[in-house]
Amino acid sequence: MLKITLSGLLLLALNACGDRTNRTQTTTDSSATVARADTGTTTIRCFQQITGRDSTMVRLAINGSRVTGELAVLPYQKDKARGPIAGTLTDNQIRADWQRSGEGVVQPHEIIFTMNGDSLTWREGERVEKQGKWVLANPNSGFQYVLASTGCQ
């Protein structure tokens, strides 16, 4: 039930990103903690980056070292990519698999997020397929996403 609710809320947030103004948005930190009887405490964190008409959003549910959530990359008038993520948190780094859905195709991508206080970063660039998963050819180069922490809706 919680997954359905979280997915619905993410879709509502994604649909609200139809802002047509040219701006870059930075917001303050906001996180929510949800008590769950079955697995302990889950912290919900949301991040977004809006540059011009392009937006990128991440919603994370962190329970100990287990992380699940959604990632949506929504460039204006270009191919969008979104899908669920699942991975593990070690120190401030999340190594996750992203079931990237775009252009009618679902592909597993490895994503390595770094949490830096009120921001979330990761790199994107040339990818190669290894053992059925798309990984960065050079993990230390390419475009770096920097998303600011934002309130979860």
User: What CA–CA distance (Å, rounded) separates 22 from 48?
Assistant: 15
Q: Please write the tens of the pLDDT for every residue from 47-90.
A: 999 988 999 999 999 999 999 999 999 888 777 889 999 999 99
Helix (H, G, I), strand (E, B) or coil at 42: strand
pLDDT at 144: 87
- The answer to whether 71 and 82 have CB atoms below 8 angstroms apart is yes
Helix (H, G, I), strand (E, B) or coil at 25: strand
pLDDT at 113: 94
pLDDT at 105: 85
User: What CA–CA distance (Å, rounded) separates 61 from 41?
Assistant: 10
Q: How confident is the model at residue 26 (pLDDT cuts 50, 70, 90)?
A: very low
The residue ranking higher by pLDDT, 150 or 140, is 150
User: What CA–CA distance (Å, rounded) separates 113 from 63?
Assistant: 16
Which stretches does DSSP call E strand in 11-132? 24-25, 31-36, 40-51, 54-63, 66-74, 81-90, 93-102, 105-116, 119-124, 127-130
The residue ranking higher by pLDDT, 22 or 127, is 127
Q: Please write the tens of the pLDDT for every residue from 78-133.
A: 778 899 999 999 999 999 999 988 878 888 999 999 999 899 999 988 899 998 89
Provide the whole-model pTM: 0.70
Helix (H, G, I), strand (E, B) or coil at 131: coil
pLDDT at 39: 54
pLDDT at 64: 92
Tell whether the model's pLDDT for residue 4 goes beyond 90. no
